[in-house]
């Protein structure tokens, strides 16, 4: 895994434990040709399923989030989501620009049509607050969203799809357009960017009123060690030494001082600041503990079990942040979670990789944890997968490999090649909760191959893994 730290690919695939498929250029899947040697009967089955897929999928007019025009083509998504409080918008690869645009359009629509008022991003709780604050500073001034994205999310998220969604949020905060006021938050268990670590330490200590020479329960040496721990966590390094233990004790001292100063913080600071700071500090310590855990020793089986346990612990920490964002009572919210299919997928431990290997055995995902906490109907997992095209960010662009003809993306490639797909986007929404119950579509409940999770070839019962999927015949690299 060589994805940059803080990217969706790094977050999602580190959680799931699978590498991204490199994707070498192959034959154009939109030609619909079966691979050499494929049995004629199997080819006929693919044709039949592709035709059925056309019948049960709802075509999308466009994937462009900022394009003017009717949104009636998205109405089937609104019906499918129903009264769910959480929608996981799951990218197969953070270089899939087409999927990113399509999910951004869906997010804007769900805000306006279904009242979703919070977007959770793959950054820390601290960075999410920075983004939300930057968004409110722009309120009344309107877009551009460039500065808000830069402050809260960083350069990795400077792209057309994310900016479109942040622009909608800025407008909503300023009272313009349909939909409720929007709020931004972060859900990652760690710190996505080293620069954020330093800012977080300075801000928390500043709120506590700790001067450089120390005070209010934190002495000067503890302040220095706390800064060093933040730097290590932000850089993704693990220093399993006595010095690291001292840094952890310094962070624990800062947390103790924060809790001791609760009455003052709650009286002097805006509502929610105390709880936010406590969560930042407790999750910093939890993430540091996971990051500093010694490398697994012993046989491969026990090492795999320990790895699965660590990834499950991280998934639970992320899910806890999403649940916290939902709020209660008068603050009850509906949350859109910008994530990866590796994080959002349910029951991924049952998926089989090449040779039938259970690559995710024993691992629970964020999707698993949210479904367990809220119930399946309260969470809707909407994935996206592309049949062909190029993905990545310039100058690192790669072609998607030809999909398996029997996969959802392979079937959609064949269906789209027929020229009967409505809309220039050649994209469609497939509700996996209801489509398998329609005549001739029962096969959607069975095991199928797909590269919907990080581009990695897996076989699974996808109707149990996702609730819906956006199928794109052709994608593009991330649009700056």
pLDDT single digits (tens) 222-243:
998 898 888 887 776 665 566 7
pLDDT of residue 33: 39
Mean pLDDT computed over every residue of the chain: 83
Closest by alpha carbon to 290, among 254, 255, 243, 238?
238
**Predicted confidence (pLDDT) at residue 206 exceeds the cutoff of 70:** yes
Provide the β-strand partners of residue 352.
Answer: 459
**Predicted confidence (pLDDT) at residue 26 exceeds the cutoff of 60:** no
**Predicted confidence (pLDDT) at residue 18 exceeds the cutoff of 80:** no
Closest by alpha carbon to 284, among 250, 260, 335, 311?
250
**Predicted confidence (pLDDT) at residue 251 exceeds the cutoff of 70:** yes
pLDDT of residue 462: 97
Higher pLDDT, 203 or 237: 203
pLDDT of residue 6: 42
pLDDT of residue 35: 41
pLDDT of residue 314: 87
Task: Find the range with the poorest average confidence among 38-47, 55-64, 92-101, 117-126.
Answer: 38-47
pLDDT of residue 278: 92
pLDDT classification of 97: cutoffs 50, 70, 90:
very high
CA geometry: angle 196, 202, 203, nearest 5 deg: 85
**Predicted confidence (pLDDT) at residue 189 exceeds the cutoff of 80:** no
347-385 as b/e, with b when 16 or more CB fall inside 10 Å? bbbebbeeeeeebbeebbbbbbbbbebbeeeebbbbbbb
The secondary structure of residue 404, as a DSSP letter, is P
pLDDT of residue 242: 67
pLDDT classification of 142: cutoffs 50, 70, 90:
low
CATH 3.40.1660.10 in the chain, residue ranges: 8-116+310-472
396-414 as b/e, with b when 16 or more CB fall inside 10 Å? eebebbbbbbbbbbbbbbb
Residues in the chain: 480
**Average pLDDT rounded to a whole number, residues 41-61:** 85
pLDDT of residue 301: 58
Tokens 């629509």 map to which residue? 109
Higher pLDDT, 82 or 32: 82
**Predicted confidence (pLDDT) at residue 151 exceeds the cutoff of 60:** yes
The verdict on whether omega for the bond into residue 144 sits within 30 degrees of 0, i.e. cis, is yes
**Average pLDDT rounded to a whole number, residues 184-202:** 81
Half-sphere exposure of 388 (CA within 13 A, CB side): 21
Helix/strand/coil for 284? helix
Cβ distance 399 to 23 under 8 Å? yes
How many angstroms separate the first and last alpha carbons of the chain? 23
**Predicted confidence (pLDDT) at residue 177 exceeds the cutoff of 90:** no
pLDDT of residue 326: 94
At 335-364, the pLDDT tens digits run 999 999 999 999 999 999 988 888 888 999
**Predicted confidence (pLDDT) at residue 83 exceeds the cutoff of 70:** yes
pLDDT classification of 253: cutoffs 50, 70, 90:
very high
**Predicted confidence (pLDDT) at residue 311 exceeds the cutoff of 60:** yes
62-97 as b/e, with b when 16 or more CB fall inside 10 Å? bbbbeeeeebebbebbeebbeebbbbbbbbbbbbbb
Residue by residue, DSSP assigns 149-193 as HHHHT-GGG-SHHHHHHHHHHHHHHTT-SSSPPPEEEEEESS-S-
- CA 424 to each of CA 62, 72, 73, 216, 430: distance values in angstroms, whole numbers, following the listed order: 7, 16, 13, 62, 17
Q: What percent of the chain has pLDDT over 90?
A: 47
Higher pLDDT, 308 or 50: 50
At 408-443, the pLDDT tens digits run 999 999 988 875 555 556 899 999 999 999 988 999
**Average pLDDT rounded to a whole number, residues 72-98:** 96
- Rounded distance between C-alpha atoms, residue 270 and residue 277, angstroms: 12
**Average pLDDT rounded to a whole number, residues 131-136:** 84
**Average pLDDT rounded to a whole number, residues 271-281:** 89
**Predicted confidence (pLDDT) at residue 265 exceeds the cutoff of 50:** yes
- CA 177 to each of CA 131, 142, 143, 298: distance values in angstroms, whole numbers, following the listed order: 21, 12, 13, 59
pLDDT of residue 63: 94
Cβ distance 386 to 99 under 8 Å? yes
Assigned fold of 8-116+310-472: EreA/ChaN-like  fold (3.40.1660)
Sign (positive/negative) of CA torsion 402, 407, 412, 415?
Answer: positive
Q: Using a CB cutoff of 8 Å and minimum separation of 24, what contacts does 457-461 make?
A: 457/21, 457/353, 457/354, 457/404, 458/351, 458/352, 458/353, 458/359, 459/351, 459/352, 459/353, 460/347, 460/348, 460/350, 460/351, 460/352, 461/347, 461/350
**Predicted confidence (pLDDT) at residue 16 exceeds the cutoff of 50:** no
């Amino acid at each position: 895994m060589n994805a940059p730290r803080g990217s969706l690919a790094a977050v999602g695939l580190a959680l799931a434990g699978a590498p991204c498929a490199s994707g070498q250029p192959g034959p154009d899947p939109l030609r619909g040709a079966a691979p050499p040697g494929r049995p004629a009967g199997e080819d006929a089955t693919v044709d039949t399923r592709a035709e059925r897929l056309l019948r049960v999928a709802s075509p999308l007019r466009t994937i462009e989030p900022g394009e003017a025009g009717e949104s009636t083509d998205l109405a089937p998504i609104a019906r499918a989501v129903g009264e769910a409080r959480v929608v996981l918008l799951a990218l197969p690869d953070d270089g899939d620009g087409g999927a990113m645009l399509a999910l951004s359009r869906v997010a804007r629509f769900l805000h306006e049509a279904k009242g979703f008022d919070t977007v959770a991003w793959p950054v820390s709780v601290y960075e999410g607050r920075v983004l939300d604050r930057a968004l409110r500073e722009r309120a009344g001034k309107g877009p551009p969203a460039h500065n808000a994205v830069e402050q809260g999310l960083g350069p990795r998220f400077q792209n057309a799809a994310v900016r479109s969604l942040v622009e909608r949020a800025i407008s909503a905060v300023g009272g313009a357009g349909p939909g409720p006021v929007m709020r931004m938050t972060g859900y990652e268990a760690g710190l996505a960017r080293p620069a954020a670590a330093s800012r977080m330490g300075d801000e928390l200590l500043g709120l506590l009123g700790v001067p450089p020479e120390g005070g209010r329960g934190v002495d000067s040496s503890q302040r220095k060690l706390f800064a060093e721990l933040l730097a290590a966590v932000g850089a993704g390094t693990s220093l399993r030494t006595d010095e690291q233990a001292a840094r952890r004790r310094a962070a624990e001292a800062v947390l103790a001082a924060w809790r001791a100063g609760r009455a003052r913080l709650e009286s002097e600071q805006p509502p929610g600041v105390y709880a936010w700071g406590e969560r930042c500090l407790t999750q910093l310590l939890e993430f540091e503990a996971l990051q500093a855990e010694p490398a697994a020793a012993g046989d491969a089986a026990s090492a795999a079990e320990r790895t699965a346990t660590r990834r499950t612990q991280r998934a639970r920490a992320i899910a806890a942040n999403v649940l916290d964002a939902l709020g209660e009572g008068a603050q009850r919210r509906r949350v859109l979670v910008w994530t990866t299919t590796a994080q959002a997928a349910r029951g991924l431990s049952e998926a089989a990789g090449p040779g039938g290997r259970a690559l995710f055995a024993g691992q629970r995902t964020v999707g698993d944890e949210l479904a367990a906490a809220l119930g399946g109907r309260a969470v809707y997992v909407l994935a996206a997968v592309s049949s062909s095209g190029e993905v990545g960010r310039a100058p690192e662009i790669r072609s998607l490999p030809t999909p398996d003809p029997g996969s959802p993306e392979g079937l959609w490639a064949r269906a789209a090649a027929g020229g009967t797909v409505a809309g220039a986007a050649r994209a469609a929404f497939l509700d996996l909760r209801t489509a398998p119950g329609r005549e001739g579509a029962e096969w959607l409940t069975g095991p199928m191959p797909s590269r919907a999770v990080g581009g990695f070839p897996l076989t699974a019962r996808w109707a149990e893994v996702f609730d819906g999927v956006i199928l794109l015949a052709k994608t593009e690299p991330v649009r700056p």
